[in-house]
Structure 1
Amino acid sequence: MSVQLHPDIGQLDRSSLCYSIYSQLYHNFFNVQERKSAENPYGIEEGDETSVRLKNTAYGFASAIAGAVTGEGGSGEGGLLLDYLKKSGGDMTGMLRAAYGFEAGVGNTRILETYSTEETDSEGVVSAVEHGIRITGNLRLGGDSLYLGERQVLKYDAERATATLDASHLDMTAGTVSCSGEWLFGERESGVFISSTLLQVAGQDVYHRGNANLATVDWTMHDGSVQGDLAVAGEVLLGGALSALHGVRLGDGGRTLLTFSGEDAALSGNLSFGEGFGIRIDGKDVLVRETENRIRLGSIGGDLLLGSDDTPRIRLFSGLSDIDGDCLLVSPYGHACFPGSLTVRHDYGADLLSTYRTDAADEGIILHKRLRMGGADGFLITGDRETLSLTSDVEYVEEGVQTLAPHATAIGHYPSTSRYAPQNRKSESFVLTTDADFVTVGVPLEAAGHVGIDGSATRLANSVLYFTEELRLQAVVGGIKHYGDSLFTGSLSSEFFSSGFAGNGWAIRQNRTTGNVTATFDEVVARRRFRAYEFEVKKISAANGSLWVSDSCSGDTVEKL
């Protein structure tokens, strides 16, 4: 198989964010493909090259998204991750939804959580499901009102230091009401007044226990103790703090909305906040309703943690946007856009990839380390400010043993050393260097101008081969023009040559046995002087008809009349 599975996929922690995103992306990619079948032999099936490509693609997206969300792609206080909710903590600028459960706390201590409890009848059949919020720590509300069931149940007036409990019916069930202050029902002169030292009804003190059982007698007393249940048909006005240390149930319309039991504060209804109000911890806002339709979630000076060991994944039902809301950074389906910058690292290593921008004409991507093709051991590309280097291995297999021969090729621009460089300015050359033995081009190699040898006068231009400016071969009409002396170490002949009287062509050839050089031509003409140390004439004559011999002329043809 030519496509290799990315080796880092097998090393992913299945509980990690990167694995969750990778798994979701791969299943989405795989499920939109056509399956392989008898009718569709070119479809996809698990384990084939297409599925491996989809896994590698899903991992590439997942590692980039997880690196950005967890903060592994940046450092410092600014840059890309300024507005992200990192795994290590941070501030959110968008809405937080946790539709399948939520827990929050501080110092590794859970303080708030959502819960769901099934209620069963006597036969064990689930008849109802109770959903709510448990608060195991202190609940401090920065506003002056508490709304239960869209009703303002509790209101606090800071100027009068007075808390008002507004409910048509207050059911304390079997709980205990403790107050160190005073209770007043109605006006002091005509109502019921209860304090730690006095009980008055219509301004009259109540001193006897027996007359409290009479419906026609108002009751006023200094101290009172109820051994059983206390049922109040009207409103209850507390002038001091309400202490209920053995459990509290609050609600409306006969339905319990808020209960305190053990270490849990369970909310069975909606907790509503007005604009500018929310939840505070240590005097700092952690959940604030900023406007009518916008909520801000923050921490109290430390990291804001989202997720836990019991949270298999965090699913986005809405996209993550930048602080201005102009760009969707991460969509719920994995689309990502990083308009500020992008930095990619592997684990805790150095920067591998980043973006830069000087201006609109100078912006791009920087590869800080290596670029591999196909796999971690594939074709390698590296570079710096001056040189781009390409590295690959040549594989030899001899007697079943594999041997790799690594070679590198570098390209760059350097000061020119050409003899033909312009003399009136500086000149540079594009240089390709390699530690391989040869450079092979699979197609014809063409160049504009000429092809030459660096530092040498030898060059090949259009129709001219220069050795020097004086020694060259130049194409002319019908042949080649030689400039300079021509020296031959071997024979010289026409394209086709055969010796002898009946032969054809011409040649100047050296006899390998004697070393003599023989020249064969059809005719030899010497305009001035012909010298020969030895002259040998071989003549062939034939007469079969008329013979014409002349000492002053010759004829090419003879025609019989």
Structure 2
Amino acid sequence: MSIALLPDIGNLDPNSLCYAIYSQLYHNFFNAQDKKSPENPYGIEEGDNTSLRLRNTAYGFAEAIAGAVAGEGDGTDGGVLLGYLKKTGGDMTGTLRANYGFEAGMGNVRLLETYREIADDGVTPVYGLQVYGDIRIGGSNLYIGGKQLLRYTPSDGTAYLENSLLSFGSSTLLSRGEMVFGESKAKGVVISGTAVYVQGKEVYHAGNANLSTVRWSMKDAAVEGELKVKGKTTLSDELSAIYGVKLGFAGKEILSVVADGALLEGFLNIATNCGVKIGSSPVLIRANETDVALSCDYGNLLLGSERTQKIKLFAGLWDIDGDNMLITKYGGAYFPDSLRVAHNYGADLLSTYRVSDGDEGVILHKKLRFAFADGVSLSGNRRELIFSKQSHQATMGFRESSSVYQLPESGSISLYIDTNSDFITFDKPVESKKHLGIDGSFTRLTDKHLYFSSEHYLMSATDGIKHFGNAYFIDSLGSERFSSGFAGYGWAVLKNLTTGSSAATFDELTIRKKMRIYELEVQKNSATNGSLWVSDSCSGDSVVKVS
């Protein structure tokens, strides 16, 4: 029985809601069916009776849905859902309610949303409104809790924050201008970043009171604490200081008399050839205008004691001739004669040597460790340099070359690296300006060449790789992407793992000369502008047309 397509389907407006619902329903119905194929001859295909039934069914559903939502389909002016806002937007005719959450924005950017969260007690729900963009109020007043809190007058550009009580809690108020309390600056209190004024007069405090410009006078004064005089002091009567004396200059105490003697806290200016004696022996002498001698007769000159923590050098320590600074005041050292370093009076660990101007240096007798005493170590001998960590070590040195590429009778020397570890790993690429090869082998990698011998190698060409020598493939060979069969793609020569046979698949095959086939299986034969011969045996070297 033939099925006809409903004529109203062809009259649908592609921009209408009914057409959108009809198209979606039909594609869903069609894709849910089994497609027609050689294996499934009873399947569905576009244009058959089943597809027409699905189109008519989809149109019936779409007409009913569109007519109920927007009045489309049957030509009526409205539907049962006409008062609701469409998903694609429009104008509402009623109240917008979103009592279970609301979110709004512009340009696919969320600007406003309602939220619900649980309070710190883990039970009480807290509701609120979250705004992610700027808030612009068109009016001049802001009310919170039914009371006006903020008022703005555009005429003078003044904002008023008013309430019977304003509390800032424990917050810090920061103002780069002035704060005025009262009717005006002249009749109120003004606080700025530099001063405080009360009715136009500056308030004095510890920072600006009792200045040197203020003159004070008095008859008598009894000072319970400390009396400090910055200027000159003139005494017109006797000075009594029976409880100690402190003398100095320019505000600095130099000499004081204390319970057990006199204390000098300044300098003694010693003339030339004068100094300090202990007993009858001079221990400190100013020899001339520049040199000072510190000595001890018939004994040892000791610097510091058991309670001394540090001995600091404020100048360099020089040799007896004054030609070389041995130790600088910052710890730099120079030993022009030689240097030997040992630990706990053990064997030499470090020393210097000199044979000539071209052969001199430092000798490391033991190990050089890094970071910690049990860290990696560096040592060596006459032949090689050794890098060690516990039982693992790597050696580097020079020896006669065994490369097959060395020049005959050249006596080439190779730098070698060896290790008792299992592998040598480079975290960065390894590059060579000439080639990379295997010692004792002809195998080497050069720019655009991989040599296995002088006759067998791979070379990079403009559009691929050239093979010099025969090419042997153990398993299959094919293009990067391959699928077998008549409708497949790519090419391949595949080895059957079960039978061991090899099969080749190509899109086209051209044989310029003779082709020998032991068994030929053809799915289809076609002959054009000629005839097709099939015989038990046939061979020809030439073809001659017979008139």
* TM-score bin (small chain): 0.3 to 0.5
Scaled by the length of structure 2, the TM-score of the pair is: 0.42
Larger radius of gyration: 2
Larger relative contact order (Cα-Cα within 8 Å, sequence gap ≥ 6):
1
Using structure 1 for the length normalisation, give the TM-score: 0.41
